Each structure stands twice: as C-alpha cells, then as structure tokens.
Chains A and B, each alone.
Chain A
Amino acid sequence: MHALAETLTALAAKDDIFQDGARVISQGGVPNPMAAFLKAVDETMLERKLTFVTGKATINVIAAGRRLRGIAAASPAAGDISHLAGKTIAREEPDLIDDAYALLSETIGNASRLAVHSLPPDPFGKGGERGVSAAGLAALWKIDMHEAPLAPMERFLRTNSDGINALLHLTAGNVNTTQGDVSALQDVWDNQVTAFIEAQNKLPDQDDGPQLICLDGALEDGSAAAIAIAGDDVALLVYAPDHLGTLHSTWQSIFA
C-alpha cells in the first residue's frame, strides 16, 4: 500500500515533458532507458497498452497492476518475435522473460530519447494471466529502477559522451572525472581558467549562473574546446566540432 501511495504521489507531482503527445521518460540515456521502461510499467495500475517510441523503433506492451503482461508488437521487429508477440510472460517461462529482455534491450536499450504513449488496451492473452511485476523484472534483469538522478553536470557530460574526446571535470577544485588525453585541458585549468572567469566577471551585465563556452579551434591541433561552469562544477572538454549544436541544446535543456 505504501509503494502504491508513493507511486501515486510521484505521478501527481511529475513535471513531465511531452513530445507529439508522448511522455518523454528518458533523454540522453538518463535515466537508463530500460529503467525508464520498467518505471513506466510500474506506474501503470489499470490495464493499458503502452507504446514506447524511440527515434527509430516502436514497441507495444500491455501492462496492468504494475506488471508487464507481455509484448504485443515491435516495429521494426528485431528478428523473429512471433513466439513473444501476444504471449503473456510468466516466471514459469524464464526463456520468454529472457527473450523479452533481449528484444527490449535491442529496441530501446540504447535509445537517446524514449517516450511513451498510454493507450486503451487491446485484447491480450487470457484474463487470469497477470504477467510479471516491474519490480520482479528489475530484479531478474538486474536493473535499478530507482537509481539516484545524476547531478546536472554529470547528466550533461553523460548525455554528450559520444561527442566528447577528452574531459576534465572538477568539483570545488578537485578532480572528479577525467577521460582521454587531458594534458591540454589540465594546462588550461592550471593557468587560464581563474583569470578567464575574473575577466568575464568584469564585463557588464554578466549572468553568474551556469555558463557554457565553446571555442572552435582553440587547441593547437585545431581541436574544439569548451568549458561548462555550474556552481562548484567546472568541466573542460575537447569535443568534436560537429557536436557544437548538440552540446548547446543539451546544456540548455539541463541548465536553462
């Protein structure tokens, strides 16, 4: 009962983002799309058809009572799913659960954006077949449905990981994360950042909130470098020049 009350409270409090009528439940891999999928099932009390949409694929499942009853359809189909489509999953049929996991992982596991439509259900299976609870599937599939949300800077960096070639992330002056060859970034941090921020602050009308500064061709080898500042967090990065637009749009979506 307590879990049900928590879920209802969370649903009522949600400040959701919708796109084309679908609720966006994972953006840039945050939260993990499979965890987002299970959470959507976990939030479904009355029987519904949940249509999960990525940029490339759609998968329809039937959920009820916080349980996944089964997979109705997938498009494009990842291999032969005829043995899965329309079948109610059950703990007594572990192969079916494994195959459902494989299909879901392949279809939505790496989605950069995952959204869900909640629709009236189509007829599915037999009335007495309840499926498997979202919590049960999370345990079987070793997925943490309630992983702690990442801090904004970490979210920004993870979302852009594909376009970042080197990273030096510091929190309150202490190195938090490094990735790739950070020698040039370390030099920038050691010798330039403080003076740069001071110079910036001397300019009139400066906003002291989060900032993203991208400099195309700023490193000797022609690489693009950026600095993202949010409170105590400073991230210096070398990024692919064609990633500038994505870098900016994700920064805006997280910090603005």
Chain B
Amino acid sequence: MVVDELDALKNTQDACKTIAFADLSTRMILVTDTASNLPREALDALCGQAALALGTKGKVALGEQPCQTALVANKSSVRVFLRAPDEPNDVLCCVCTPNVDVDSFVTSASECLNRISNGNS
C-alpha cells in the first residue's frame, strides 16, 4: 500500500511533517501519509509548487529541462519534490521543518518513491 510506504518514510524522518504522492499529469495529490491534516487547498498548492519546480510535460519554469529533485526552502519550511526516474509523472511532495538533514532525507525519499512507482508496495 502506498500509504504504508509514506507512513514508514515519515516515521523514520522526524523533520518530515507531510508526505504526499502525486500525479503531475493531472496535478493531483493521490495519497498522503495517514497523519497529514493539510486541507485540500494546501495539498493542491503543494502539487502546484511541485509542478512549477520540477516541470511538467517537458516544459520548465526554471532551467533547461525538467529536473528529478527540487528543494524549495524558506524560513519556515523545506519542501522537497522528487520525480520517479521511470514514471516522470509520479512525484513525491514532502514538507519538512527547516532543520531537515537534506542528504539523508532525499536518499530515503528516493528509495520510497522508487518502491511506490515500481509497484513494489
């Protein structure tokens, strides 16, 4: 189950507050971790930010080509967006606290996304 993967990732990463699995082709959040209490509008905005940062349908807002991993940091949060290597529309959207260990988190989240996208969950 996708939600189990999201919950497992969140349980190992204290700095992670929300994880959502989204489909960029429809710009929809499909699943969130169990404890997520973000309202629908906030989830839509999160997905919109993922589309803007990663790029969709071969188009990019910043850079020359769609990217695989994006990080958007401000004073209050760090948002990490990851695209599945084999399914470009499968993305993980994560909201973390500013003190997140980015390297460790990106590694774990990438593994989680690969399992989800490859249908191993």
Q: Chain A interface (Cβ within 8 Å of chain B)?
A: 184, 188, 192-193, 195-196, 199-200, 203-205, 207, 209-220, 224-225, 227, 244-245, 248-249, 251-252, 255-256
Contacts and interface: CB of A to CB of B under 8 A. Distances in A.
B86 interface: no
Query: By DSSP majority rule, is chain B's interface helix, strand, loop, or mixed?
Result: mixed
Contacts of A213: 53, 62, 70-73
12 contacts: A199-B52, A211-B72, A211-B73, A212-B71, A214-B73, A215-B54, A218-B62, A219-B64, A244-B106, A245-B103, A249-B102, A252-B98
Contact of A244 (B42, B52, B64, B71): B71
A195 B70 CA distance: 18
Contacts of B75: 207, 209-210, 255-256
B87 interface: no
B49 A203 contact: yes
Interface string B47-75: 01100111000001111110111111111
B45 interface: yes
Interface centre among B64, B68, B69, B99 (most CB of A within 10 A): B64
Given A216-B70, A219-B65, A244-B103, 10 more contacts: A203-B45, A205-B42, A210-B75, A214-B73, A215-B53, A215-B69, A218-B60, A218-B67, A224-B67, A248-B73
Contacts of B64: 184, 218-220
Judged by DSSP, the binding face of A is mixed
A188 B52 contact: no
B114 to A, nearest CB: 15
B12 interface: no
A244 B73 CA distance: 12
Contact of B98 (A205, A211, A256): A256
